């Protein structure tokens, strides 16, 4: 993963300007292993490229990379399939080699259409004075743009900055396709024309992807001197997933299980479905495709295999390379169980469980300096990551953090320990006070969530930031000790609810519009996941120098689930804890999981209790004033 940025100037008075210090700092946090800048000057324009690398595979390759013809490439992505990348190779260099050999637009589109995995990129093609950029089909990597000075400059960046001064200056690059700008013509006309090469499935006649923003919608939020047009040749990228199966049943469903609709959800209830041979086969196919997706995401990173025999660490001394955002719910439990199949047996796995302080006053159980249990005042790890563990060495977790996700997380830990007792499972209790939440939202998190600005974005963004930071307590039966996760890869279960009808709104949709309405809702969920979730989550997790990976959004997983009729994925006539994400619950049973297989969906903001910490009367869709604090403060500072 990387922090990538390209600042373009079209007027002499802006030539030679460096990136603002705060933007450079934010980019470096994403890529702590290498930083490099490159300036490309032309009589008409100037481009400053800035690359910051988190090293995860092959030889460390500093970015930006440049070839002998003056082409420049910035890549924030992972090639998991589609393009061959050997274990010892770096995908940035492989992708650049292919791009440099492309002879025309069609070649570039064919190359990017083949890549399976998350990506955003910036590519300067010197011969045509073209700047290409974009995000993958699902928008799993962040890329922002802002246009300033009446067409005299613009900037592309993985992350924005706090002191940009003008609200809404940064916007997410839509994951509608890839874009190309002719820098030479722009410098002359002073109007920016962005040519769009959209995603399209072969069976569709319409070039513009139906479930993503139209050209008009993309242009609506841009300055008047910026326009987005379809490319003249009507070229497009091939969608990496098959269309959603919208087939409807010919007869009412649930005949074979009508007798269980009123029975509380249990593992035995789910096993009834697995007596159906066809259903059991589909579930196994799902397990197989999801297993491959998880394996690709836990194996593509450096490990200790390269150490000499004298350097190999004892199992108890080894650091986890992979962490999981872990609530103990069905999504994170299945990911953990599958990760256990592929991560070396002597390597720990970090389970990151976040909780926000509840308002109830309790006398917590804590530990003295020797790690013994005692009754005492409870504090929590605070300050930045580097200070967190040492500063909190005399403090420990207590009962005011026994939120729902903490309780289910501990239960999930016991399940995993029973299923894989030889594995070291590091259950990391991450506890956040109101004071720490407010401080770090103001100083770090608000600009990462931006340009998203709702109450829901605030809650999820803050919860994911603290969880992925990985600074908390390693708690066993007898002691607790401060712990900082060193894992560079963070697995998250996002995408399961969107595809498998996991949200309460899906039940409401079925009640009002039937299965046809549910199909439309799921299609909409996938169509908007780039703008609603993934850019934000990538910025938030990447701020710790860690990479977010999304197994449920693997192209093959999505294609498999898209191929199934809705009733094989969910049956919302059944009770909560069974009907939603039915196929995933059945997979959990097949994997040997017990309690977690029937846990009902609980949103992260409620499970972690962050939604209860401040204003309780807000709606998730309301604009969040707490996210505007930094912008207002910075505006005040600049005016002074």
Q: Is 547 exposed, middle or buried (0-12, 13-18, 19+ CB in 10 A)?
A: buried
Beta strands in 203-321 (DSSP E): 226-230, 237-238
Q: Which residues pair with 134 in a beta bridge?
A: 121, 178
H or E segment to which residue 559 belongs: helix 555-563
Question: Contact at 8 Å (CB) between 319 and 485?
Answer: no
Q: Which residues pair with 482 in a beta bridge?
A: 473
Contacts of 514 (CB under 8 A, 6+ apart): none
Picking from 593, 605, 572, the residue whose alpha carbon sits closest to that of residue 459 is: 605
Tell how strand 480-484 and strand 471-475 pair up.
antiparallel
Beta strands in 158-239 (DSSP E): 171-172, 177-182, 192-200, 226-230, 237-238
Question: Contact at 8 Å (CB) between 441 and 463?
Answer: no
Q: Is 180 exposed, middle or buried (0-12, 13-18, 19+ CB in 10 A)?
A: buried
Question: Contact at 8 Å (CB) between 312 and 269?
Answer: no
Interatomic CA distance for residues 509 and 519, integer angstroms: 9
Place of tokens 């956040």: 432
What string of DSSP letters covers 281-347? HHHHHHHHHHHHHHHHHHHSS--GGGS-TTTPPPGGGPPPSEEEE--SSHHHHHHHHHHHHHS-TTS
Tokens of 230: 């379809």
On the CB side of 489, CA atoms within 13 Å amount to 26
Using H for helix, E for strand and C for coil, what is the string for 388-456? HHHHCCCCCCCHHHCCHHHHHHHHHHHHHHHHCCCCCEEEEEEEECHHHHHHHHHHHHHHHHCCCCEHH
Picking from 385, 387, 413, 408, the residue whose alpha carbon sits closest to that of residue 475 is: 413
The question of whether 300 is a catalytic residue gets the answer no
Tokens of 386: 């580097």
Q: Is 162 helix (H, G, I), strand (E, B) or coil?
A: coil
Tokens of 410: 């501990």
- Give the residue numbers annotated as catalytic, written as ranges: 2
């Amino acid at each position: 993963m990387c922090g990538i940025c390209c600042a373009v100037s079209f007027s002499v008075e802006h030539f030679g300007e460096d990136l603002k210090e705060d933007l450079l700092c934010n980019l470096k946090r994403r890529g702590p292993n290498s930083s490099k800048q490159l300036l490309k000057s032309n009589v008409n324009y100037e481009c400053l490229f800035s690359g910051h690398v988190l090293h995860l595979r092959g030889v460390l390759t500093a970015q930006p990379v440049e070839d002998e013809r003056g082409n420049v490439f910035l890549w924030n992505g992972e090639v998991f399939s589609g393009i061959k990348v050997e274990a010892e190779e770096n995908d940035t260099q492989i992708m650049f080699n292919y791009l440099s050999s492309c002879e025309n637009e069609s070649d570039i589109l064919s190359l990017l259409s083949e890549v399976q995995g998350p990506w955003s990129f910036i590519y300067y093609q010197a011969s045509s004075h073209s700047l290409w950029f974009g995000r993958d089909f699902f928008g799993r990597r962040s890329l922002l743009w802002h246009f300033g000075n009446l067409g005299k400059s613009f900037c592309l960046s993985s992350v924005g900055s706090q002191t940009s001064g003008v609200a809404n200056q940064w916007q997410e690059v839509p994951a509608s396709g890839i874009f190309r700008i002719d820098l030479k013509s722009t410098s002359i006309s002073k109007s920016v024309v962005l040519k769009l090469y959209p995603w399209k499935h072969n069976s569709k006649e319409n070039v513009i992807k139906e479930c993503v923003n139209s050209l008009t919608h993309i242009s609506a939020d841009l300055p008047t001197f910026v326009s987005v047009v379809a490319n003249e040749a009507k070229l497009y990228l091939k969608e990496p997933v098959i269309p959603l199966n919208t087939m409807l049943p010919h007869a009412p469903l649930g005949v074979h299980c009508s007798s269980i609709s009123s029975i509380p959800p249990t593992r035995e209830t789910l096993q009834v479905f697995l007596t159906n041979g066809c259903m059991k086969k589909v579930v196994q196919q799902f397990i197989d495709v999801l297993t491959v997706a998880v394996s690709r995401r836990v194996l593509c990173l450096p490990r200790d295999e390269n150490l000499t025999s004298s350097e190999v660490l004892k199992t108890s001394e080894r650091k986890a390379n992979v962490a999981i955002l872990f609530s103990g719910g069905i999504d994170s439990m299945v990911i953990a169980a599958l990760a256990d199949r592929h991560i070396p047996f002597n390597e720990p796995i970090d389970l990151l469980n976040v909780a926000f302080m509840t308002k109830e006053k309790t006398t917590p159980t804590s530990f003295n300096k020797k790690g013994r249990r005692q009754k005492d005042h409870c504090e929590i790890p605070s300050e930045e990551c580097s200070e967190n563990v040492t500063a909190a060495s005399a403090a420990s977790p207590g009962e005011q953090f026994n939120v729902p996700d903490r309780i289910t997380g501990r239960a999930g830990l016991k399940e995993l320990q029973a299923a894989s007792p030889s594995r070291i499972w590091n259950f990391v209790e991450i506890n956040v006070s109101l004071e720490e939440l407010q401080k770090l939202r103001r100083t770090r998190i608000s600009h990462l969530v931006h340009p998203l600005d709702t109450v829901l974005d605030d809650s999820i963004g803050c919860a994911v930031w603290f969880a992925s930071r990985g600074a908390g307590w390693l708690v066993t039966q007898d002691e607790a000790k401060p712990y900082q996760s060193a894992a560079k890869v963070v697995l998250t279960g996002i995408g399961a609810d969107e595809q498998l009808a996991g949200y309460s709104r899906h039940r409401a949709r079925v009640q009002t519009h039937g299965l046809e309405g549910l199909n439309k809702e799921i299609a909409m969920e996938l169509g908007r996941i780039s703008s609603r979730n993934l850019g934000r989550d990538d910025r938030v997790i990447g701020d710790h120098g860690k990479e977010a990976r999304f197994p449920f959004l693997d192209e093959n997983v999505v294609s498999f689930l898209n191929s199934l009729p809705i009733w094989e994925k969910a049956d919302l006539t059944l009770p909560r804890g069974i009907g939603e994400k039915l196929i995933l619950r059945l997979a959990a049973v097949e994997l040997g999981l017990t309690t977690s297989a029937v846990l009902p969906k609980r949103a992260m903001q409620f499970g972690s209790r962050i939604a209860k910490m401040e204003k309780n009367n807000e709606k998730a869709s309301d604009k969040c004033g707490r996210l505007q604090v930094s912008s207002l403060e910075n505006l005040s500072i600049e005016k002074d």
